[in-house]
Amino acid sequence: MGIFILCEYQTRPDVDLSEVERVQQVRAVWNGQQWELHFVCKVDIGTSDSAGGDVAGIDLGITNIATVAFPDKYVLYPGNPLKEDKH
C-alpha cells in the first residue's frame, strides 16, 4: 500500500534541473525539523576521451557499496562499516 503526497516544491537557486531526463523516485524524509523531498533522477552525462585504452565497470550495490571491475582484476568496497553506523 502506498501513500501519495501532493506538494509544491522549490529548488535552491544553484540547482539546475534542465538536464534531468526523468524522475525515478521521490522520497519524503523528516530531517528532525522539517520534511524534505529527495529526488532520484536519471541524468545523461557525457564522457570524455580516456587517457588510456583500459575500461573499468562500476557496480553500485547494497552488500558491497561499489565493485570496480577491470579487464584482469576487480576491487570490492564493502559496505559493512556503513551498515554498522546506520544501526
For residue range 6-55, list pLDDT tens digits in order. Answer: 888 788 888 887 878 888 888 888 889 998 888 888 877 776 666 666 66
Nearest to 63 by CA among 40, 35, 82: 82
User: Residue 74 is part of which domain span?
Assistant: 20-44+55-86
- Domain annotation covers residue 9: no
Rounded to two decimals, what is the model's pTM?
Answer: 0.42
Query: How many structural domains does the chain have?
Result: 1
Residue 45 · residue 27 · CB < 8 Å = no
- Domain annotation covers residue 82: yes
Q: How far apart are CA 79 and CA 62, in angstroms?
A: 7
